[in-house]
C-alpha cells in the first residue's frame, strides 16, 4: 500500500487524494468513525511527500496546493452533499442551483485546504517539521474557514475527536479550534512511521509522537475526570418545567398555500397534551408559524386560549418591522426577521430575539442586486431576504403571567436559532453589551444566563446526514459553555442536553412528539467560557515558533 501511494501520478494521484478526503468525512456524524481521519491524513501526508520531492520550490507550491484542494474537495463533497436536498424542496424551481450546492460549495471550501497544503512547503524538510507544518496550516485553514466572510465552520476537523461525551469534555477548556489543532496532530502523526527516515532526526519524530499520544490520552483522562464530577446542587425553588414540541412537518407541506391552518392546528394539538398546566414554558421550533403571527389576531387568540395561567410560549416566528405596516402593500423599507418571540400567558409578545447569523443564499443573498438581475433569488421566500438582528443573544423572558411577579420568570437564557449553533463562542456573543430584553450583560462575576435555547428547522434536509451533523455541533456549544441546552427542531432532532453534552431526552429525526422535562442545572463556568480562544492562540503560537526556529536554525542531516 505504501508503494502504491508513493508511485501515484497525474489523475490517478488526484483521484486517490479525493477519495482519501471523502473517507475522512466518515469521522463526522452520523457515522462518527474517527479512525478514518488517521488513515486519510496519513495517506495524504505520504502522497504529498512523494509529490513534492525533487521539484523546484515554485513547482512544489503548485503541486501541494493542487493536492490540498483535491483532499478538501473530497472531504467537503462527502460531508456536505446533503445540502443539495434543500434546493429541491420546491420541486425543480431551484434545480439549476443543485450543481452549485453539491459541488460548487465543496470546491470553494477546498481552497482553504489548498492554501494549507501550500503553506507547508517552506517547512517540508525533516519528518517532524512535515507533521508540525500540517498541524499549523490545516488548523489555521479551518479557523479561517470559520471566520472569513460570514464563516462556515460546519464539520470542522475537531468534531472528529469528539463523537461521545467522554471525548467532548476537552472543548470546555480548548474550544473547537484548540481541539481541531490536537485532532490534526493525532491524525497526521502515524505518517511518521512510514515517511523516509533520511534527513530526519529520530528524537524529533519521537517527540512529536509523544506529544500526539499525550494529547489523545489527556483528552480521555480529562473526560473521565470531568464526567465524574458531582452535579450542581438543585435550586431552592421548584425546578423549571418545559415542554418541547416537535411537529415533524415537511418543508414542502409547511409552506404549501392553503395548509396554514393544518400546520398551526398540529402545534396546538401537540401542545395541549395532558400536563400542560404543570409546565412553565412551552417551546416551539424555528419559524413555527407559516404566517405572520404578530399580525394575526385570530392566531393570537387561539394561543391565549391554549396557554394556562403562568405558562409562557417561546416560539420561532417571522416578524416584520415596522410592525404596524399594512400588508401586503408594504413600504420599501420593510424588514423581515427570523426571530424567537416570547409570549406571556395572554399571548402578548413580551420579548424578541432576531437571528444575527443568517444562512448565505438561504436567508440572505450576497450581492443581491447583481444576482437578481440573472433571476437568482433566496431559497426562503421572503421579500429581500431576512434582515440580521443586532445586540446580544441574551434574553430575560420576564414573567409568564401578565403583571406577574418577577420571581415567577424563567431564568435568563442564551438564544441560538438554527445556523447560529455551529459557531463556537456564539452562546456569549454580546456585540454591544445589551441583552434581547434591553438589560445590560456585563460586570458581574456570575454568568447572566443559565441555559441555552436552540430553535431550528432542519426539515430542509430531510432525514439525511445534515440534521445529525447539526445536532452534534449544537451539543458542543453546551459543553463549551457548561450550560444545558434545550434544542427544539421541527422534524428533529429535539433534545434535552446537559452541560456535559449528554443527551438526557430526545426525539428521533422524522418523528412527531413532545418532551416534558425539568431544566437541567447549569455547571460552573468553564475555562473556555472565561478565556475563549486564548489557549488555542497559545498552542498555535508555540507550534509556529518551533517551526520558524527550526526553519531558520535547523537543517536536517542529508537535506539537499
Which helix (H) or strand (E) segment is 115 a member of? Answer: helix 105-119
Q: Which three cell numbers stand for residue 220?
A: 480521555
Mind spelling out the 3-state secondary structure of 258-293? CCHHHHHHHHHHHHCCCCHHHCCEEECCCCCCCCCH
Q: Annotated catalytic, 286?
A: yes
Catalytic residue among 286, 420, 480, 481: 286
Mind spelling out the 3-state secondary structure of 421-435? HHCCCHHHCECCCEC
Q: Which of 107, 101, 134 is nearest to 119 (CA)?
A: 134
Task: Work out the number of other CB atoms within 10 angstroms of the CB of residue 392.
Answer: 26
Instruction: State how far the Cα of 352 lies from the Cα of 494, in Å rounded to an integer.
Output: 22
Task: Work out the number of other CB atoms within 10 angstroms of the CB of residue 53.
Answer: 12
Contact call for residues 83 and 105 (beta carbons, < 8 A) = yes
Tell me the residue length of the chain.
Answer: 560
SS3 339: strand
Instruction: State how far the Cα of 395 lies from the Cα of 411, in Å rounded to an integer.
Output: 9
Mind spelling out the 3-state secondary structure of 35-49? HHHHHHHHHHHHHHH
Q: Annotated catalytic, 3?
A: no
Catalytic residue among 45, 70, 335, 418: 418
DSSP 440: B
Q: Which residues contact 348 (CB under 8 A, 6 or more apart)?
A: 402
SS3 64: helix
Catalytic residue among 355, 363, 420, 480: 355
Instruction: State how far the Cα of 84 lies from the Cα of 88, in Å rounded to an integer.
Output: 7
Instruction: State how far the Cα of 286 lies from the Cα of 338, in Å rounded to an integer.
Output: 8
End-to-end CA separation in angstroms for the chain: 27
Catalytic machinery residues: 286, 355, 418
Amino acid at each position: 500500500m505504501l508503494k502504491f501511494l508513493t508511485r501515484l501520478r497525474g489523475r490517478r494521484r488526484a483521484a486517490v487524494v479525493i477519495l482519501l478526503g471523502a473517507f475522512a468525512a466518515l469521522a463526522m456524524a452520523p457515522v462518527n468513525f474517527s479512525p478514518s481521519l488517521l488513515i486519510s491524513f496519513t495517506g495524504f501526508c505520504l502522497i504529498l511527500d512523494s509529490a513534492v520531492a525533487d521539484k523546484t520550490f515554485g513547482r512544489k507550491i503548485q503541486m501541494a496546493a493542487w493536492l490540498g484542494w483535491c483532499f478538501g474537495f473530497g472531504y467537503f463533497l462527502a460531508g456536505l452533499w446533503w445540502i443539495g436536498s434543500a434546493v429541491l424542496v420546491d420541486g425543480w424551481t431551484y434545480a439549476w442551483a443543485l450543481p452549485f450546492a453539491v459541488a460548487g460549495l465543496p470546491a470553494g471550501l477546498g481552497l482553504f485546504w489548498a492554501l494549507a497544503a501550500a503553506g507547508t512547503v517552506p517547512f517540508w524538510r525533516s519528518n517532524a517539521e512535515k507533521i508540525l507544518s500540517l498541524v499549523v496550516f490545516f488548523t489555521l485553514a479551518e479557523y479561517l474557514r470559520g471566520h472569513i466572510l460570514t464563516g462556515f465552520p460546519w464539520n470542522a476537523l475537531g468534531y472528529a475527536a469528539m463523537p461521545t461525551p467522554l471525548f467532548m469534555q476537552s472543548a470546555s477548556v480548548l474550544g473547537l479550534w484548540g481541539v481541531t489543532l490536537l485532532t490534526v496532530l493525532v491524525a497526521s502523526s502515524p505518517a511518521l512511521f512510514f515517511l523516509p527516515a533520511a534527513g530526519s532526526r529520530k528524537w524529533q519524530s519521537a517527540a512529536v509522537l509523544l506529544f500526539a499520544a499525550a494529547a489523545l490520552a489527556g483528552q480521555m483522562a480529562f473526560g473521565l475526570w470531568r464526567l465524574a464530577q458531582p452535579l450542581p446542587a438543585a435550586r431552592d425553588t421548584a425546578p423549571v418545567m418545559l415542554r418541547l414540541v416537535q411537529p415533524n412537518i415537511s418543508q414542502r407541506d409547511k409552506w404549501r398555500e392553503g395548509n396554514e391552518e393544518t400546520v398551526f392546528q398540529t402545534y396546538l394539538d401537540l401542545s395541549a397534551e395532558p400536563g400542560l398546566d404543570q409546565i412553565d414554558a412551552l417551546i416551539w421550533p424555528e419559524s413555527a408559524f407559516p404566517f405572520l403571527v404578530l399580525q394575526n389576531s385570530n392566531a393570537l387568540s387561539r394561543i391565549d386560549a391554549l396557554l394556562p395561567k403562568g405558562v409562557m410560549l417561546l416560539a420561532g416566528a417571522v416578524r416584520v418591522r415596522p410592525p404596524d405596516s399594512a400588508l401586503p402593500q408594504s413600504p420599501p423599507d420593510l424588514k423581515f426577521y427570523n426571530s424567537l418571540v416570547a409570549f406571556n400567558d395572554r399571548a402578548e409578545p413580551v420579548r424578541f430575539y432576531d437571528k444575527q447569523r443568517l444562512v448565505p443564499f438561504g436567508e440572505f443573498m450576497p450581492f443581491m442586486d447583481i444576482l437578481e438581475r440573472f433571476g437568482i433569488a433566496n431559497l426562503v421566500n421572503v421579500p429581500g431576504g431576512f434582515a440580521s438582528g443586532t445586540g446580544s443573544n441574551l434574553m430575560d423572558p420576564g414573567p409568564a403571567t401578565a403583571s406577574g411577579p418577577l420571581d415567577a420568570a424563567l431564568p435568563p437564557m442564551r438564544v441560538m436559532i438554527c445556523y447560529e449553533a455551529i459557531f463556537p463562542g456564539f452562546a456569549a456573543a454580546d456585540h454591544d453589551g445589551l441583552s434581547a430584553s434591553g438589560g445590560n450583560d456585563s460586570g458581574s462575576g456570575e454568568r447572566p444566563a443559565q441555559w441555552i435555547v436552540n430553535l431550528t428547522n432542519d426539515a430542509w434536509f430531510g432525514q439525511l446526514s445534515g440534521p445529525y451533523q447539526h445536532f452534534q455541533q449544537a451539543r458542543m456549544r453546551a459543553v463549551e459553555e457548561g450550560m444545558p441546552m434545550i434544542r427544539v427542531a421541527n422534524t428533529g432532532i429535539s433534545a434535552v442536553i446537559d452541560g456535559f453534552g449528554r443527551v438526557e431526552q430526545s426525539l428521533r429525526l422524522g418523528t412527531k412528539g413532545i418532551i416534558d422535562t425539568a431544566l437541567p442545572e447549569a455547571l460552573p463556568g468553564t475555562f473556555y467560557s472565561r478565556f475563549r480562544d486564548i489557549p488555542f492562540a497559545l498552542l498555535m503560537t508555540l507550534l509556529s515558533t518551533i517551526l520558524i526556529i527550526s526553519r531558520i536554525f535547523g537543517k536536517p542531516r542529508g537535506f539537499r
